[in-house]
Amino acid sequence: MSLIDDLLNGRMKLHELERHLPADEAVRVRREFIERVSGASLRHIANYSIDMERASARNIENPVGVIQIPLGVAGPLKIKGEHADGSYYVPLATSEGALVASVNRGCSVITASGGATVRVTGDCMTRAPVIKTGSVAEALELRKWIQDNIEALREEAESTTRHGKLLRIDPIIVVGSYVYPRFVYSTGDSMGMNMVTIATEKALELLTEKTGAHVIALSGNVCVDKKPSALNLVEGRGKSLVAEVTVPGETVERVLKATPESIVEVNTAKNLVGSAAAGNMGFNAHYANIIGAIFLATGQDEAHIVEGSLGVTLAEERDGDLYFSVSLPDVPLATVGGGTGLETASECLDIMGVRGSGKVHEFAEIVGGAVLAGELSLMGALAAGHLARAHRDLGRG
């Protein structure tokens, strides 16, 4: 009797295969089982070069193969940052025709204008539990206890990690008898969600021991993780980034086929007024496009794309030139850990020279510059009336 028969007859679970087989063989058996029950052919999913044993241990459960997404590069993109200083090619994984071409055009405009100035304006990762007390009076007492015992809580939290530092616990939101303390950490080169979760759990052990408070959940959604949030828009989370460029009026007309005034008008009407009218939290054209393509290429947590879509685009006419900037307050990034260790992700990080420790701020500044390039190009296309034509010519083949 084969293992596939055991799976078909319910004598074995998919996740149990690794107990009996090496990782690659378990993947093959699981894939053949899925082919049997679905009738689908998975010959493309079966072709991969990553180390599935490593991936099975760290990144995926019940693996059957890999998904392939086309990968392009945009650049060179000149960055003038505190950490990234030079010209970079940016890997973008996407199936949306015209996206890489658009970012590439933005890179050309920025490079021809002397480069993008980019800064990391904030760097933190958060975890906010929800704690139940008996009344609002008790809730306020607990808030005061947390404020008075921040050093003891910090010592407990930091005992779990070599790299994480508890920066503050703020805000501490009281809703009725519920308390939501937002633990804010620095996490080095890792994105840090696992790190801050473990650290916060340890700090809460001290809190419950000393106060008797009831922790309902380690995450109370004030973190705010993997959701659009006004709190993250204002306070920041992950890497907070600002990128700017001043494009000569002649370059705007020659390359973007628009004028500084027309791009300013489109940005005001679309990104500012239109976003406000719709109640958007992202006052921008398409940050998520570039963030998503970079995240998929470099092994970031794709659920954080929703956070990276937050931010504000500004455009001003200055003495006949175009000042253009993007502000991204919430971009969780890593150059170590998680999916960055997958072979294809590591290679994409290597394209930019940002794989490994000590590189995350350089990577962040490149990401900010790439978003600036994509946003600038799209706004130029809208101002020139070229958006539909670009998608017709490039998106439809």
Question: Which residues form the catalytic set?
Answer: 96, 301, 391
List Cβ neighbours of 211 (8 Å cut-off, separation of 6 or more).
Answer: 142, 145
**Terminal-residue alpha carbon distance, the chain:** 49
Nearest CA-CA partner of 298 in 360, 244, 376, 232:
360
Residue pair 222/182 in contact (Cβ under 8 Å)? The answer is yes
DSSP assignments along 365-382, one per residue: HHHHHHHHHHHHHHHHHH
AA letter at 131: I
Exposure on the CB side of residue 223, measured as CA atoms within 13 A: 23
What is the distance between the alpha carbons of residues 341 and 355, in angstroms, rounded to a whole number? 9
Q: How far is CA 344 from CA 70, 139, 356, in A?
A: 12, 48, 14
DSSP state of 272: I
Residue pair 352/80 in contact (Cβ under 8 Å)? The answer is no
Q: How many CB atoms lie within 10 A of CB 58?
A: 12
Residue pair 141/183 in contact (Cβ under 8 Å)? The answer is no
Backbone angle region of 24, left / alpha / beta, with phi > 0 → left and psi within -120 to 50 → alpha: alpha
What is the distance between the alpha carbons of residues 207 and 282, in angstroms, rounded to a whole number? 36
Q: How many CB atoms lie within 10 A of CB 63?
A: 23
